[in-house]
Amino acid sequence: MSESMDLLLRSITLLQLIPHWPKSISTPDLLDKLKAEGFQINLRSLQRDLRDLSSRLSIVSDEDTRPYRWSIREGADHGLPAQDTPSSALALYLAENHLNHLLPQSVLDLLRPQFRNARNQLNGMQHNHLAHWARRVRSMPNGKALLPAELQPHVWTQVSSALLERRQLQVDYLSRSQGASKRFRLHPAGLVSRHSISYLIGTVNDYDDLRQFALHRVQCAELLDEPAREHEDFDIDRYIEGGAFAWRQSPLEVELIADVHPQLAWLLGETPLSHTQNLEPLPGSDWQRLRARVPLDQETLWWIFGLNDQIRVHAPQVWVEEISRKLESLRKMYAETVECDTDCRQAVEDSAHAPVKDREDAEPQTAEEVP
């Protein structure tokens, strides 16, 4: 199966690389592109492939030029989709692993046939280095990834159609603040996938202010015939950069000043917090002083909370005060004695007997292990 499968996939890729007449491509250019796709082939083998294909399919060559140039005959259609190239199959294969952490299951189900075809194509390529790469490369989320919120399949279909066709959408939407479902019309403006939740951006009924709607809270959606109201000034990149999803405490950036653990300093040296970041060693310590211009938003503050005792914040003062309040609240919470039920007590006992390596005896963390 191996050599015959490689020949088949090489022929499919070759057909994708040959343009329709009057455009054309030379034999050496085809050879370079095939090698770039991971095929191990020489000029003589390529010439043999091209002769075989031209004898059976609508492929023609211009023999008046040297080297020969190849085209698909005008009006012919070989009917092969462009995603059948090995590099595209590899991109889909790797994208599946990444998107599993981002998209709701109903959306992933719509993509399963493409993902499956990509896996089958790569699994059949024993002599192509891209197939070996796919078996050795994985994509992982940074930090603890929550499972994507469940989304009803018909909701995704109606929402995506409304956005693409610029039509109104009638929805029954579960309000988190009120705990009740409301029905209204939406005029879609954009769609953002953020972590494990997808948001539709749009306006409601006759109002002009843009709002965000979590798709998993849409209980029912109906695509309407009426055209949606245009949002002529809406720019999705500018909307995101303006802090629409960051819960900003101020529209301005502030200087974050903090002392950071040496392993965290190493990580920030490789993957900076901002373009204006600066790290300086602290006298008499292996810690470093961090200075960076950052947005004054909750997302950055949550990142700081997650670092625990690996960071000591000095500025901005509003964050110092909020961290102090949070620490005091946690101290009071854990100082109180709370009764557990039977299952809870059993879990506590089990965890008490579980082997835990002492922090002082643990192997030193690498920079990648720092949150």
For the chain, domain boundaries: 2-80, 86-134, 153-241, 246-371
Strand ordering across the sheet containing 69-72: 25-26, 69-72, 59-62
What pTM did the predictor assign? 0.56
Output the pLDDT for position 366. 38
pLDDT tens-digit readout, 329-341: 999 998 887 777 7
Mean pLDDT of 37-55: 84
Q: CA separation (Å) from 138 to 93, 128, 133, 143?
A: 10, 18, 10, 15
What 3-state DSSP class applies to 296? strand
> Looking at this protein, which amino acid is placed at residue 276?
T
Residue 146 sits at the vertex; the CA angle it makes with 273 and 203, to the nearest 5 degrees, is 80
Mean pLDDT of 103-131: 68
Report the top-level CATH class of 153-241.
Answer: mainly beta
pLDDT greater than 90 at residue 72: no
Output the pLDDT for position 156. 83
CATH architecture of the domain covering 2-80: Orthogonal Bundle (1.10)
- How far apart CA 183 and CA 174 sit, in angstroms, is 9
Q: Using N-to-C axis directions, what is the helix angle for 105-123 and 86-99, rounded to 10°?
A: 140
> In DSSP terms, which residues pair with 254 in a beta bridge?
294
**Could you tell me the maximum CA-CA distance found in the chain, to the nearest angstrom?**
91
- How far apart CA 319 and CA 311 sit, in angstroms, is 13
Output the pLDDT for position 175. 83
The 3-state DSSP composition of the chain as helix, strand, coil percent (nearest 5) reads 45, 25, 35
